[in-house]
Amino acid sequence: MIFAVGLIFIFSLTIFNNQSRAQEPAPTCKTTDCHSDFDKRKNIHKPVREGKCSQCHKAVTETHPNDETVDFTLTGERDEICYACHKSFGKFIKEKLKYLHTPVKQKDCYACHDPHASDNWMLLKKFFSKRYYLPFKLEYYALCFDCHNKEIVTEKETDRLTNFRNGNFNLHFKHVNRDPKGRNCNSCHNIHASGQAMIIRPDVPFRKRDKKGYYFNLSIHYKKTKTGGSCAVSCHRNRYYDRENPVVNK
């Protein structure tokens, strides 16, 4: 009798343990010691959040990690992997826009975005302010200064830092380095691509229309010349600049 009860107890315990293990989630890349930090970030890329690593990666060895060789590779070209999910954006870039930001032209989305997780909005690698108008602080443009020289917005006079100048007067400085209403980079530039030269965006949000946060969009018409250019926004007349023959705008 005691033997039978013992067998029943052992059998029951085995079933319980098996059921407990069955209920435990299967380990994924981000639950391992190697990549566990992904879940600690504020913003997690959807495939990472869902444990779908194979959407972007494929194994080329039987074991991982493998210190002797590359054991994972991408499933395709870097930009094509992104456009496989971001279809409308990819189509927009390929079919409609003539001027591309250099990382986009080089198919390098990862220059600005972390493909796994980030503490910054839009999975940006470094901080970049969401605001279109803001008092000037260098830290608001940390992402941009990974590639661009920060002196482009700190030096009032220059003959070399930028082609966007009237004579030697730095027009990037004029637009950005202001308090309280400096212009963010994306007030004038589309971060990815544009139909206008210098990736100047076709319009710019001006001010909130109502409590929901909608903006008026003001059109921007930019024309580039050999030694300068002109810009017309809905709210003001054409403004001209020339590096060799400074223009007096009235």
Annotate the chain with DSSP letters as a single string: -HHHHHHHHHHHHHHHHHHHHHHSPPP-GGGSTTTGGGGGSSEE-HHHHTT-GGGTEEESSSSSS-TTS--EEESS-HHHHHHHHSHHHHHHHHHH-SEE-HHHHTT-GGGTB-SSEESSGGGBSS-----SEE---GGGGTTGGGTS-GGGTT-SB-SSS-S-EETTEEHHHHHHS-SS-EEPHHHHB-SSEESSGGGB-SEEEEEE-STT--EEEEEEEEEE-SSEEEEEETTS--EEEESSS-----
Non-local CB neighbours of 64 within 8 Å, separated by 6+ positions: 71, 72
Q: pTM of the predicted model, to two decimals? A: 0.81
| Mean pLDDT for the chain overall | 85
Across 148-162, average pLDDT: 96
Poorest-pLDDT segment among 81-85, 92-96, 161-165, 236-240:
92-96
According to the model, what pLDDT value does residue 207 have?
Answer: 66
The conformational region for residue 167 under phi > 0 = left, psi -120 to 50 = alpha, else beta, is: left
According to the model, what pLDDT value does residue 212 have?
Answer: 64
According to the model, what pLDDT value does residue 10 have?
Answer: 47
Non-local CB neighbours of 115 within 8 Å, separated by 6+ positions: 45, 56, 109, 123
According to the model, what pLDDT value does residue 16 have?
Answer: 44
Q: What angle do CA 144, 149, 154 make, to 5 degrees?
A: 100
- 76 touches 90 (CB < 8 A): no
Across 11-36, average pLDDT: 57
For 47-63, the pLDDT digits (tens) are: 999 989 899 998 888 77
Task: Name the amino acid, one letter, at 13.
Answer: L
Task: Give the pairing type, strands 99-100 and 215-224.
Answer: unpaired
The residue behind tokens 């380095």 is 177
According to the model, what pLDDT value does residue 27 have?
Answer: 61
Task: Name the amino acid, one letter, at 171.
Answer: L
Backbone angles phi, psi at 79, to 5 degrees: -70, -35
Determine the distance from the C-alpha atom of residue 59 to the mean position of all C-alpha atoms in its chain, rounded to a whole number.
27
Within 10 A of 228 (CB to CB), how many other CB atoms are there? 21
According to the model, what pLDDT value does residue 5 have?
Answer: 43
According to the model, what pLDDT value does residue 28 have?
Answer: 66
Beta-bridge partner residues of 58: 73
How many Å from the N-terminal Cα to the C-terminal Cα in the chain? 107
For 129-138, the pLDDT digits (tens) are: 988 889 999 9
According to the model, what pLDDT value does residue 2 have?
Answer: 53
